[in-house]
Homo-oligomer: A and B are copies of this chain.
Amino acid sequence: MSEQDNYQVQFQPIGKRLVVEAETSLYEAARESGIELSSACGGEGSCGQCRIVVLAGETTPPNFDEEFILSELELQQGERLACCTYARSNLTIQVPRESLITGQRLQIAADLAASLREITPDPLVRAVNLELTPPTLEDIRPDLQRIADALAEQYGVSGLTAEPAVLRVISPAVRDLNWRFTVLLRGQEIVGVGAWDQRPLGFAVDLGTTKIAAYLVDLETGADLAAAGAPNPQIGYGEDVISRLNHVHRNAEGGRVLAAKVQETLNELLAQLLSQVGASAGQVVDACIVGNTAMIHLLLQLPVRQLAVSPYVAAVGSALTVPAAELHLDMAPGAAVYIPPCIGGFVGADHVAMILASDLDRHDKIVLGVDIGTNTEIAIRKPGMSFLTSASCASGPAFEGAHISDGMRAASGAIEKVRITDTEVQMTTIDDAPAVGLCGSGIIDVAAELYRSGLINQRGRFQKENSRVEDGRFGTEFCLVPAAQSGSGRDVVITQKDVNEIQLAKGAIHAGLQILLEATGTAPEEVAEVIVAGAFGSFLNIENALAMGLFPELPNAQFSQVGNAAVIGAKWMLISQAARRRAEKIAAGTTYNELTTYPKFARKFAMGMLFPDE
């Protein structure tokens, strides 16, 4: 490549300068240099999230996708999609705040877990202290043998083993510690050695498609020592699961890169947790990671081709225990990672963890568990039935802000609560910043309020006769925040298309719940409780969710929100062998219902899209 084909690009207001090749899109270039632009489609030109403004310089002309997504005015103002734009000279680029995925609010469950009970620790790894006589010419037993003999005598442990990675540290470590040390034992296997009285720690992770939530836990007491969260760095390769699987399929190195990305972030989270409590990586002897089937495949770098095409088959669905070193995690040299089983080869380990932590398998009333996300998993517990039954609804990313004109994730400036009165629109934004868009809970509120105010009808149609309903650049719309008051300098609106997207999402969840009730012969009035889980769920205004018909009519149900129950379930399995056995029983004992093959699915879906009678 000649030098003329490389251009310097400066990104404002970040101030980062890059050298970009002519055939690398600005989206790709930004991602490679650590600027994470928002994207739901993984750079396919279809989601419209990676908007940038070209302030100076020449680029390729707008393509078909951009002309479809961007208004003429926006194009005139230099607005472009980074994934469709290529430099043709040195450039100055403005990155609007809503196009960045950093700074996003990451909710971890600590404050919300109060509603879930504590369990008694029963960890797989334990720590025992040893004080040994050093070798002499008369006693040249190998180091492992010397430790094995002492463990057998003092703790009744027989058949001691250690992997090479552990053997590599034992001999120098015990000499450094003058033969007075702690052995970290998983059954009869040494996981690591450390200073006298060292406490064994564990790492519990909910590996979400969008967010990663993690805990550092004292394995002996079960106490949470620290909590942290981070965006899933694979987002740059597609916000939804299928985009990421396709990326892996289309790029020879894709699987390795996506696994490395997430492993790197897990190590960063772990380092952050350890520094909060002043502990060392060598103390971390066990981990439990939950996530949906695709996230687990990507983490383990398992083949995904068969998961991405019909009939969508997992490589493995059973519980796995893999060496932490296999995942390049900086933990004790012999540490392992437990990954719970999935249900029916399809519903992920995160759902199993949610069922576990909310004790759904043990309720003595009829209880629904709903874990809302891009895929919404639902499960029903009926005390009369020996098993749980569950289903997965493709609710789509609307409640995560994607596919909505001014949708965004829960970052600064996101509208999270909305009330529409006769004269004005009242709202709360994250960080009380000027509004730039709508996050999930705001979207639910807007839909409920539009319907309550009569701005849309039961079928979700804007009532054009209402003077507040306007004709905007994308058709009929309602303006929530005029450009002059917004943080983006543009109107923040909700369009007819947006309402339709919301209806598709709620229709899927509504239909899923109805079908699961029917499939299990349950009358709606029999349901005593609905447990709503998921990071989204915890910010939900349940009253508005009911008003806009997210759930079918369940007249006698109590609603409870448990936040990110999946990470709490991961913590349970981290600290308790009994919890792992229970999770494996839950997975084996849960029937998976495929919704789309259910006879009345299409009709129920369509009905679920309607707003409920008031």
Residues of A with Cβ closer than 8 Å to B? 135-137, 139-145, 148, 162-165, 167-172, 175, 300-303, 305-306, 310-318, 320, 322, 326, 342, 344-346, 594, 597
Q: Are B345 and A301 in contact (CB under 8 A)?
A: no
Q: Are A141 and B345 in contact (CB under 8 A)?
A: yes
CA distance A165 to B327 in the complex (A): 11
A601 to chain B, nearest CB (A): 14
Q: Are B142 and A345 in contact (CB under 8 A)?
A: yes
Q: Are A306 and B171 in contact (CB under 8 A)?
A: yes
Question: If A302-B164, A303-B172, A345-B142 touch, does A137 touch B316 (CB 8 Å cutoff)?
Answer: no
Q: Which residues of B contact A143 (CB under 8 A)?
A: 306, 313-316
CA distance A170 to B317 in the complex (A): 14
A248 to chain B, nearest CB (A): 12
Q: Which residues of B contact A163 (CB under 8 A)?
A: 322, 326
Q: Which residues of B contact A317 (CB under 8 A)?
A: 141-142, 144-145
Q: Are B322 and A144 in contact (CB under 8 A)?
A: no
A98 to chain B, nearest CB (A): 38
A317 to chain B, nearest CB (A): 4
Question: If A164-B301, A164-B322 touch, does A144 touch B315 (CB 8 Å cutoff)?
Answer: yes
Query: Which residue of B has the minimal Cβ distance to A317?
Result: B142
Determine which of B140, B172, B346 lies in contact with A312 in the assembled complex, contact meaning CB atoms within 8 Å. B140
- In the complex this chain forms, how many copies of it are found? 2
CA distance A137 to B312 in the complex (A): 8
Q: Are A316 and B142 in contact (CB under 8 A)?
A: yes
CA distance A306 to B137 in the complex (A): 12
A282 to chain B, nearest CB (A): 16
Query: Which residue of B has the minimal Cβ distance to A315?
Result: B171
Q: Are A140 and B345 in contact (CB under 8 A)?
A: yes
Determine which of B140, B318, B342, B344 lies in contact with A311 in the assembled complex, contact meaning CB atoms within 8 Å. B140
A72 to chain B, nearest CB (A): 45
Q: Are A318 and B145 in contact (CB under 8 A)?
A: yes
CA distance A345 to B147 in the complex (A): 14
Q: Which 8 A-B pairs have the closest CB atoms?
A: A142-B317, A142-B314, A171-B303, A142-B345, A144-B316, A171-B315, A137-B311, A135-B313
**Known A142-B315, A167-B303; 11 more pairs at CB < 8 Å:** A137-B311, A140-B313, A141-B345, A142-B318, A143-B306, A164-B322, A164-B326, A167-B316, A168-B303, A171-B303, A172-B306
Q: Are B142 and A311 in contact (CB under 8 A)?
A: no
CA distance A326 to B145 in the complex (A): 22
A304 to chain B, nearest CB (A): 9
A117 to chain B, nearest CB (A): 31
Query: Which residue of B has the minimal Cβ distance to A172?
Result: B303
CA distance A320 to B163 in the complex (A): 8
CA distance A303 to B172 in the complex (A): 7
> Which of A137, A143, A170 is the most central at the interface, judged by chain B CB atoms within 10 Å of its CB?
A143
A201 to chain B, nearest CB (A): 24
